[in-house]
């Protein structure tokens, strides 16, 4: 097995990334958070890895979430102590390996007179949780530490979350989870860490066919390069399907789908809400109550999650009726409307695996699978040994699921690989001294903060670009704090194929809502120049970007 011990390697450029090795130990299909974690885990343990995605990295379901890394408190409601402990450990891991990109998030849930939610019982639960997670801050920097949970009085709750309409509220519970400030950059960081261990990663590459090679226990793989139409042929020893719908290999091996997918929806609101994430009791049009979370996020507010039957899985947005119902439900929890239609700047949509029977019996909300699902297709047919599917619903547990997946590969194929160390292995090196180094280039405080927050793995690259050309120190028009060197780095080294890739997933300037027109035009012109686009292609890219922000199917 091939091993590469380079400390950190950027994702290859547009041309170099299309050259594959003739053989890989492992093919990972799907470069969302689960696929990126599997690639990183496998590469760090010594396997030669190729991870591909038919879209951009992290462009599908992984881009849609409340950005929350849960610490497992919710599992105690069903007395699932084991899952609570695992989640707490994984929250610690994310805070440790991705410092700054993952940050502590205060959360509040009102208590009421109902037996299961009264202050006394909830207080006992918090005390038990504090004891259960006594080592939750092991190895964490002070700014990443998770405080103990505690009970709030009614007046304390009102100060943190004013205007709640529920008169049965008696106080609240305060605890801390964590939040990813940019999920797409976290996925990129995982892939870059995998690349640093020798993995190859390629977006816009579609797995057309996986064919067994006789009795050799290997598979011939055909990959279609979406931008160029070129087909590549290579050989792999194993393949794990982590794609958004988990059906790439299912369709290849003619097996019946084991799960169906529900549409998960979160709203991005251009309005500051509360300083804490709060769970509120909302009412639907039938008067039934449901729990919604309202979270502060980088100057915006995230609200969700709603679940709808997916149908054919192609409807990427909401109807006007569905959007109005969502807004009405949010506002039902407050004396005065919290949000209006005009406040909604983005609708995030993803598709999550769910139990088919529960979808029909209990509805989409109650049907999500709770734990990652690992399918070994070799158990169905001997000729499929080495083909697997990994599905999951929670960012929190993606790394742990990847560790368990590679452990299963090790056992099933008797691999001589290293033990896992991804729970202790930071994605990027210590940033001490980086601020001074960037200041020496003449970058402003805001520009430096932007780079340290979102591009900790690219500091050397951005420094090199800015030192070569003083124009790279200027801000991108309409995007204060984002220097042009950052844009140049993304285009050179992060496999940007489309304007949407750049402004939505590589940069935070368009992650929440449509960027300034000056930013769009400057970026489109730059990509036109770098990639040789025609004027017609440039216009199509701008139109495609605008459509991304119109996920309301009016």
Q: Domain spans of the chain?
A: 16-62+184-259+370-413, 97-179, 260-366, 434-553
Distance CA 446, CA 457 (A): 18
Q: 213 pLDDT exceeds 90?
A: no
The answer to whether the beta carbons of residues 333 and 282 sit under 8 Å apart is yes
Q: 356 pLDDT exceeds 80?
A: no
DSSP label of 443: -
Question: Measured at the alpha carbon of residue 3, what is the angle toward residues 199 and 183, in degrees to the nearest 5?
Answer: 30
Task: Write down the pLDDT at residue 245.
Answer: 66
What tokens does 250 get? 């299912």
Pick one of 2.30.30.240, 1.10.8.870, 3.30.70.20, 3.40.50.300 as the CATH number of 434-553: 1.10.8.870
Q: 1 pLDDT exceeds 50?
A: no
At residue 15 the predicted structure's pLDDT band, cuts being 50, 70 and 90, is very low
Q: 5 pLDDT exceeds 80?
A: no
What tokens does 294 get? 């309202």
Q: Give the closest residue to 104 by CA, choosing from 115, 96, 95, 117.
A: 95
Task: Write down the pLDDT at residue 363.
Answer: 72
Q: 9 pLDDT exceeds 60?
A: no
Q: Give the closest residue to 136 by CA, choosing from 87, 180, 101, 208.
A: 87
Task: Write down the pLDDT at residue 19.
Answer: 77
Q: Give the closest residue to 183 by CA, choosing from 278, 39, 302.
A: 302
Cα R_g (the chain), whole angstroms: 23
At residue 460 the predicted structure's pLDDT band, cuts being 50, 70 and 90, is very high
The mean pLDDT value for 114-121 works out to 82
The answer to whether the beta carbons of residues 506 and 485 sit under 8 Å apart is no
Q: 554 pLDDT exceeds 50?
A: no
Distance CA 211, CA 221 (A): 6
Q: 428 pLDDT exceeds 60?
A: yes
Higher pLDDT, 241 or 286: 241
- Of all residues in the chain, the percent with pLDDT exceeding 90 is 70
Please list, in sequence order, all residues whose beta carbon lies within 8 angstroms of the beta carbon of residue 201, skipping any fewer than 6 positions away. 11, 12, 17, 31, 39, 50, 51, 52, 57, 191, 194, 195, 495
Q: 553 pLDDT exceeds 80?
A: no
Distance CA 203, CA 56 (A): 5
> Helix 33-44 and helix 398-413: axis angle, to 10°?
50
Q: 166 pLDDT exceeds 90?
A: no
- Of all residues in the chain, the percent with pLDDT exceeding 70 is 93
Q: Mean pLDDT of all residues in the chain? A: 89
Helices (DSSP H) in 238-334: which residue ranges? 248-253, 320-331
Task: Write down the pLDDT at residue 324.
Answer: 92
Q: Which residue has the tokens 């940033």?
A: 431
What is the C-alpha end-to-end distance of the chain, expressed in Å? 53
Distance CA 180, CA 511 (A): 13
Q: 290 pLDDT exceeds 50?
A: yes
Q: What is the pTM of this model?
A: 0.93
Superfamily of domain 16-62+184-259+370-413: FAD/NAD(P)-binding domain (3.50.50.60)
With residue 157 as reference, give the H or E element that holds it: helix 154-160
Task: Write down the pLDDT at residue 6.
Answer: 30
**Is CATH 3.30.9.10 correct for 260-366?**
yes
Q: 507 pLDDT exceeds 70?
A: yes
Higher pLDDT, 287 or 219: 219
pLDDT digits (tens, 9 = 90+) for 241-276: 998 766 777 776 666 556 788 888 999 999 988 999
Question: Measured at the alpha carbon of residue 332, what is the angle toward residues 331 and 338, in degrees to the nearest 5?
Answer: 20
């Amino acid at each position: 097995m091939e091993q590469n011990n380079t400390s950190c390697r950027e994702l290859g450029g547009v041309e170099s990334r299309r050259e594959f090795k003739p053989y890989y130990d492992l093919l990972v299909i799907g470069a969302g958070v689960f696929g990126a974690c599997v690639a990183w885990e496998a590469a760090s343990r010594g396997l030669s890895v190729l991870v591909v995605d038919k879209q951009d990295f992290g462009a599908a379901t992984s881009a849609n979430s409340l950005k929350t890394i849960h610490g497992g408190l919710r599992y105690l409601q069903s007395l699932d102590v084991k899952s609570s402990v695992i989640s707490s450990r994984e929250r610690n891991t994310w805070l440790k390996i991705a410092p700054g990109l993952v940050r502590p998030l205060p959360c509040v849930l009102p208590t009421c007179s109902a037996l299961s939610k009264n202050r006394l019982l909830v207080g006992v639960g918090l005390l038990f949780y504090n004891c259960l997670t006594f080592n939750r801050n092991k190895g964490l920097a002070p700014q990443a530490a998770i405080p103990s949970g505690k009970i709030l009085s009614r007046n304390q709750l009102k100060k943190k979350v004013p205007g709640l309409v529920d008169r049965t509220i008696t106080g609240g519970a305060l605890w801390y989870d964590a939040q990813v400030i940019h999920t797409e950059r976290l996925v990129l960081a995982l892939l870059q860490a995998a690349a640093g261990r020798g993995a190859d990663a390629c977006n816009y590459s579609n797995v057309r066919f996986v064919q067994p090679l006789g009795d050799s226990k290997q598979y011939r793989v055909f990959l279609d390069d979406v931008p160029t139409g070129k087909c590549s042929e290579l050989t792999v020893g194993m393949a794990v399907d982590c794609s958004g719908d988990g059906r790439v290999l299912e369709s290849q091996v003619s097996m019946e789908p084991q799960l169906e997918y529900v549409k998960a929806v979160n709203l991005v609101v251009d309005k500051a809400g509360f300083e804490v994430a709060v769970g509120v009791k909302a009412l639907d049009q039938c008067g039934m109550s449901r729990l919604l979370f309202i979270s502060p996020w980088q100057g915006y507010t995230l609200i969700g999650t709603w679940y709808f039957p997916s149908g054919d899985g192609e409807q990427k947005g909401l109807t006007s009726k569905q959007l109005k119902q969502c807004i009405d439900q949010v506002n039902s929890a407050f004396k005065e409307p919290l949000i209006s239609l005009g406040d909604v700047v983005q609708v995030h949509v993803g598709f999550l695996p769910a139990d088919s029977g529960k979808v029909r019996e209990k509805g989409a909300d109650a049907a999500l699978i709770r734990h990652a699902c690992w399918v070994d297709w070799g158990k169905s047919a001997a000729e499929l040994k080495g083909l697997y599917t990994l599905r999951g619903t929670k960012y929190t547990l993606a790394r742990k699921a990847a560790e368990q997946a590679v452990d299963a590969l090790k056992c099933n194929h008797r691999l001589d690989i290293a033990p896992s160390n991804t729970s202790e292995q930071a994605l990027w090196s210590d940033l001490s001294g980086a601020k001074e180094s960037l200041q020496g280039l003449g970058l402003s405080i805001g520009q430096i903060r932007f780079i340290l927050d979102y591009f900790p793995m690219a500091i050397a690259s951005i420094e090199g670009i800015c030192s070569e050309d003083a124009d790279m120190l200027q801000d991108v028009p309409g995007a204060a704090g984002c220097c042009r060197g950052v844009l140049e780095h993304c285009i050179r080294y992060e496999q940007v194929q489309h304007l949407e890739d750049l402004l939505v997933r590589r940069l935070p300037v368009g992650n929440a809502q449509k960027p300034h027109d000056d930013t769009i035009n400057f970026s489109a012109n730059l990509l036109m120049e770098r990639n040789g686009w025609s004027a017609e292609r440039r216009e199509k890219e701008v139109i495609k970007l605008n459509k991304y922000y119109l996920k309301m199917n009016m």
